[in-house]
Structure 1
Amino acid sequence: MEVVGTSRQGTSSGNGDASIDTERLVKSIREKLDKLYSPSRECCIYKVPKTLKKINEEAYTPVRVSIGPLHHGKEGLEDMEEHKLRYFNDFMQQSGKSLEELVEIMKDKEEEIRKCYAETINLKSELFLEIILVDAAFVIEVLLKYWFDVLGTPNDRIFRKPWMIHDIKLDLLLLENQLPFFVLQYLFEMTNINLGIEDDKTMSDSFIRLTLNWLESVSIIQELPVLENVNPSSVKHFLDLLRSCLMPMEDSQASVPEEIKPSKVKQFIDFLRSHLIPRQSLQQTQQEFDIPSATELHEAGANNSSKVKQLIYFLRSCLIPRQSLQQTEREFEFPPTATELHEAGVKFKVNSSKNLFDIKFSGDVLEMPHRKIYDSTECLLRNIIAYEQCHCDDKLMLDYTVLMDYLINTRKDVELLVQAKVIENWLGDNDDVSNLFNGLGKGVVFDSDRCYFTKLHRELSDYCKIRKHRWKANLRHNYCNTPWRVLSIIVAAILLGLTFIQSLCSLITCHK
């Protein structure tokens, strides 16, 4: 084969048609490496994964206003840009800061803000800082105008139109429409605005209270956390704070079960876990095998091979695909549907808790908190789940929706929960509620080993497998479901008893 280009700078391309300039290629790759974006630990704002977005793109897309750089300039959102500038002007007047001062403040925080975005923001500093500054001031003004009615003007395009403020509420809670919380908090603290609450010791407390007041209007929240339990430095953004408001509280009846709490393990297992075992199989492997310690192996000696076999089997699990090992522990079980539970004799009852994780099964009663289902419920749940998929170690909101997905399979399941007042359906059609929960689990990664409701799933499944429960439930549903049927059964039993006694007396008389 003829070699084309024998100079030091080039070699044959392999097909003999062109040469490769080695120095130019190295320079090109090196420039790309130099520009390579290094993910930061502060990253907390993500683009929704395509697998989720293609299922329901509208749930993740702002309708009225773009916040931050990810949706800036999108078609259909341009009308709010002028109104955002009006709010920005109001913010400057309230803060007492000049435009030059605000710009200088943002310049100092540009790098820190960029680190909060998972995607590389390919915008020049001037445009990027303008977007962040104007949007942050807009959000703060929205919160203030919602707190103080007097700040609203007669020609306000947001607060004078209920449909507009409703859309903006949802837009501010979309995963791709977030600003770092510290930016909003820092700008608010510069205003020195007094909310009129004496309990607030710092401006940070005031801003948290201002934000919680805004989130309280979101229909999905039924119980806000105590102000003292909210650490402003740990809040990433509005959606993160919303998720925190829905999680089990430490002082609530709902608490993280022991099954998913971290526990101390042997040093040997820790070493193997960190180097050999895939993360998703760690808990399963630890539960499946009673791993002996080094001391136990030494004391066991050659005559006691059971411990050694256990260790060998454990090591096999580190190297052999999990699917090829025989499962020694009971498989994860999903709960029956509400209809199946009802047919097995389970009663649904509303408890007094407002935390959606406070679900308990005792005897034959499944207690659940009252939950209202609105048009906005799906949008909020989808964005929280998307945030968990991208950022959170514990997928608690996904665990909740998986439970509801299996309880609710058809409109009949919804009817049972509505009749028990567990669900208050504001969507109108029970099919809409079943479709809502059945669709939330599509495209997500569910880790059954770390599910919050694993114990509850097992209890419900075990109850439905017991035949006597089904027999009792069948008797109650088919023959004792109304007072008149119960009365007729009692009367029939009395008549049957009297007939038997009469027959017995007649038989005795005949023998005499």
Structure 2
Amino acid sequence: MTKEEGSPSNVSNNEEEIVAKERVSNVPREVADAKQKTIQNTVQSLVDRVKKARNSNRFSSIYTAPSRLRDLNPSLFIPRVVSIGPLHKEKLNLKSTEARKAAFVNELLSEIGFIDETLHNCVQKVYDKIERIRGCYDGMKKTAYNDDEFTQMMVMDACFILQFISKLSGSGNLLSDNRLRSRSIALDLVLLENQIPFFVLEDIYESTINKLQSRPSLITMLSNLLGYINPFTDCIKMDNIGTETTHDHILGLLHKVYLPKLPNSSTISVLPTAHSAVELDKIGVKFRPKDEKIWPLSIDFQSSSHKPTLRMPVVVIDNFFEVVVKNLIVYEQYSPVYNYVTSYAMALDMLVDSPADIAKLGESDVLVNHLGSNEKASDMIKNICKDVTFLDFYYIDSWKRMDTYYDSYWSKCIGVLKQKYFSSPLTAVGLLAGIIIFIVTVVQLPFQIKQS
């Protein structure tokens, strides 16, 4: 009888080969099976994590600033008066505000009435989305707060924010009891690490203030808040914020205020040539407040052989400027959003190389320095972009035109004239006197010739 493939003798031979291989490798079958099981479990765990991330369909929008930027100045990200959300909840210096926070919430609920029913609605809405809310916080351990503690935190913080901005909207001014404290609270509410998801704020608004008659929309109320920490003299406008637009949080809303109506990418491989304000002034460039209202951060170079002008937003340099801009920069660096604020900060950094540049921009009425010295303002601007990655620069066209003018023949002539004849009042007076003498001489020359 002929041996065929798959016959008992072949099966026996195959088993002998397997046993022989196991003996050679000196690995028992039980160990090999256990290893395969471990690998399979690891693969399944990775698959579950990937599916969970895909199903969540969101990134963590509230997080601690990365250490390479945070360590430069941690105080820029730490709330001074009030904690919002879980990331700074246990800070001892903020505990005293918790009683104040409860008083605000009591005022809000008392005005609405039906306290038990209102709180029930608020708690229910938070509980229904608690996993989604937790997913918005990066780096927070799930065991840090149980569901009850976490829900209470969200409801209290959202109610506090709503009552605070309601008071701002009603009075049209900062709270009269302590203006500095109130402005500090307003600043705390735009810190990246001190946020609650915007959809939580919307849900609590619908269950509270929206029940009252003749109350402004949530976006309108927040515009008053953002106006107090806005570092630019132009008023905050919400024209670009559509009602159908979603926001990550209050800081994300502020970020959208500074975007143009039609944002677009502006990827660059290298940064443009930097020219300081003093260098540009030497070749005749003037600095003027922007006259275009569509984009709050617009900077435009208008080239002209007679009046080259750089138009830019009027900015107030103070401690609030550094906090607001730095938090917006970090938000842009680590979130899938446009980098317009980072571009603005870089443009300002290129214009300011020394205290003399601060003085020049101040004289031109495009910068207001509240820090007490030009040196402090210069140092602040130079440090604000330290260790920041630049992928986009939305002023590249203006900077290219400015660089072209800087290298032009006409600008060099202006520079030589200013340096030689207008470098000081004395030389300018000397030049003027020389011109007058020359004109008088030319006028008198025909009479002298006639007399002779």
Please give the TM-score of this superposition, normalised by the length of structure 1. 0.70
Structure-1 separation of matches of 2:105 and 2:39:
48
Does residue 169 of structure 2 align to residue 224 of structure 1? Answer: no
Does residue 355 of structure 2 align to residue 411 of structure 1? Answer: yes
How far apart are residue 429 of structure 1 and its match? 0.7
Q: Cα deviation per residue 1:96-117 (whole Å; 9 max; x = unaligned)?
A: 3424443222111112222323
Cα contact 1:337–1:409 (8 A) shared by 2: yes
For the residue of structure 1 that corresponds to 2:89, the secondary structure is coil
Cα 1:466–1:63 change in 2 (3 A) is same
One-letter amino acid of the counterpart of residue 494, structure 1: I
Corresponding pairs, count: 409
Q: Cα deviation per residue 1:407-448 (whole Å; 9 max; x = unaligned)?
A: 10000111111111111111111111111211111121101x
Root mean square deviation of aligned Cα: 3.5
Does residue 300 of structure 2 align to residue 359 of structure 1? Answer: yes
Q: Cα deviation per residue 1:383-428 (whole Å; 9 max; x = unaligned)?
A: 0001111113421111111111011000011111111111111111
Q: Cα deviation per residue 1:351-397 (whole Å; 9 max; x = unaligned)?
A: 34562324332312222232222220000000000111111342111
Structure-2 residue corresponding to 1:137: 159
Cα 1:165–1:358 change in 2 (3 A) is same
2:170 to 114, 136, 148: 148
Cα 1:143–1:498 change in 2 (3 A) is closer
1:451 to 377, 382, 393: 393
Q: Cα deviation per residue 1:45-67 (whole Å; 9 max; x = unaligned)?
A: 23212211011111011122111
Structure-2 separation of matches of 1:392 and 1:347:
36
Structure-2 separation of matches of 1:496 and 1:9:
114
Structure-1 separation of matches of 2:43 and 2:89:
31
Structure-2 residue corresponding to 1:376: 320
Cα contact 1:405–1:437 (8 A) shared by 2: yes
Structure-2 separation of matches of 1:472 and 1:230:
48
Q: Cα deviation per residue 1:491-512 (whole Å; 9 max; x = unaligned)?
A: 2323564798799x69xx9xxx
Q: Cα deviation per residue 1:323-357 (whole Å; 9 max; x = unaligned)?
A: xxxxxxxx652231111111122122233456232
Cα contact 1:335–1:458 (8 A) shared by 2: no
Structure-2 residue corresponding to 1:318: none
One-letter amino acid of the counterpart of residue 181, structure 2: M
Structure-1 residue corresponding to 2:438: 493
Cα 1:371–1:353 change in 2 (3 A) is farther
Cα 1:333–1:410 change in 2 (3 A) is same
How far apart are residue 473 of structure 1 and its match? 3.1
Q: What is the 5 A alignment of 1:323-472? A: 332-353=271-292, 355-363=296-304, 364-447=308-391, 450-472=392-414
How far apart are residue 169 of structure 1 and its match? 1.1
Structure-2 separation of matches of 1:429 and 1:217:
23
Structure-2 separation of matches of 1:183 and 1:49:
25
Does residue 183 of structure 2 align to residue 171 of structure 1? Answer: no
1:117 to 126, 137, 143: 137
How far apart are residue 162 of structure 1 and its match? 2.3
Structure-2 residue corresponding to 1:188: 205
One-letter amino acid of the counterpart of residue 340, structure 1: E
Which structure 1 residue ranges, 5 or more long, are not aligned? 12-19, 153-157, 201-205, 251-255, 263-279, 285-330
Percent of residue pairs identical: 25
Structure-1 residue corresponding to 2:247: 235
Cα 1:149–1:496 change in 2 (3 A) is closer
For the residue of structure 2 that corresponds to 1:445, the secondary structure is coil
Q: What is the 5 A alignment of 1:239-254? A: 239-249=251-261
Cα contact 2:282–2:415 (8 A) shared by 1: yes
Cα contact 1:350–1:367 (8 A) shared by 2: yes
Which structure 2 residue ranges, 5 or more long, are not aligned? 1-23
